[in-house]
Amino acid sequence: MILAARKVRDLGNVDTRRQESAEVPDIFDRCRHFLEEQRSASKDDLEVAQRVIFGVSPIENAGPWIEHEGRRMLQFSTNDYLGMSVHPEVRAAAAEWAAKHGISAPMGARPLTGTVELHLEFERRIADFKRTEAAQSFTMGAGAMLGSIACLARPHDLLIMDQLAHASLVCGARIAGASIKYFKHNDPANLERVLQRSDPTRPKMIVVDGVYSMNGDIAPLREICDLKDRYGARLFVDDAHGNGVCGEGGRGAAEMLGVEDRIDLHAGTFSKAFGTYGGFVAGPKEVIFYIRCLAPTILFTKSAPACVVAATMKSLELVRKAGDRRKKVWDNARYLQSQLRARGFDVGDTQTPITPIRLGDSAAIHCADILRRTHGIWVSAVVYPAVRRGNGIIRVIPTALHTHADVDYLVSSLQAAKAEFEARSAASTTSAAQPTAAEAAAK
């Protein structure tokens, strides 16, 4: 009897726990909701989005011309501004080190067995390029931003971030547990109001991009430097898209605006103008030493393979001397943007080769698909969550290896693709408005 009673009681407890469990939201619920949200889009939009955004890219997807599924296609999608990813000297450097040491060496994280003399020489050259006391390299660009912010800030610190700051910077701030305040994009007056309202005794750092990857605009670094000096803040600039491209020497937006020596920490990636892989942060020696010792993206990940470091060192050497290529990038960018504006396309307030063609989500996806399938042009549609809902763009990046003839073909093809999409949309709307045969008979 006692055993039977215990069994009944235990079964009752199990049922109660199940009921309680059923009332607790499942952490995977948001995944299901996201999927349902995607399905709520039109079937046509969803199919095209899957093809354009998650379709298979050709492995050799850099350079102005690429091969895909047996077709030769004009490519305007990558961030390979100077064509370094296909530079024979960069490829040869990687191949030479890979042939000697394999693709993984050295094995291990940097604090253990992952640091070799090549890493240290590479970091000395980065510091020389950025005109700072020291530099630290990272296995990936996002890791440089996330890891540096995560170890520099603490819960009692204040990070003041541009509202369009790169996601890796925001992730680093959240990991640090610091207080975060956002200011309106590229708005020094709003930044000053945030600074005025902050506790003057609280450690604070302003965090911005040098060049914003979706809009192509440049941070007002002169004004931001004035404010950080006035209010006793530090300044961290992620210039992933400016390094190699902006400034006569390719040292980025800070060089272009004449404020290199006023930036506290310069950061960037090698996956854009340098055409390789990895990232860095450069600044005062004691700060870089601190980051080297404490950044989670250094401590808890394998060091960069020597073959990648060797390729990036060669690319850095070439980028410093690539004045002609930089001029060509800017010439192509000005020509492209003037041609697009002349034909009524909205490219916003871009100040760099990044060219966002603002079409809206559905138009961006469908036009990118038409360009690929009909015109043999590979471009990328960028939609939510990379940009706000409804603000979809086709982001075009002209490089030093493109010609004006390439640009002309892109612009004329884009006009044709937009006209085709609009005609389809109009036909679809008209068709939807027509009653079916059954509806007509019922009337």
Which positions are catalytic? Answer: 213, 241, 272
- The Cα–Cα gap between 360 and 390 comes to 5
Take residue 405 and report the two structure tokens written for it.
């003839």
My answer on whether omega of the bond before 106 falls inside 30° of 0, hence cis, is yes
User: Measured between alpha carbons, how far is residue 440 from residues 335, 430, 434, 436, 437 in Å?
Assistant: 54, 16, 9, 6, 5
Kindly give the pairing relationship between strand 355-358 and strand 393-396. Answer: antiparallel
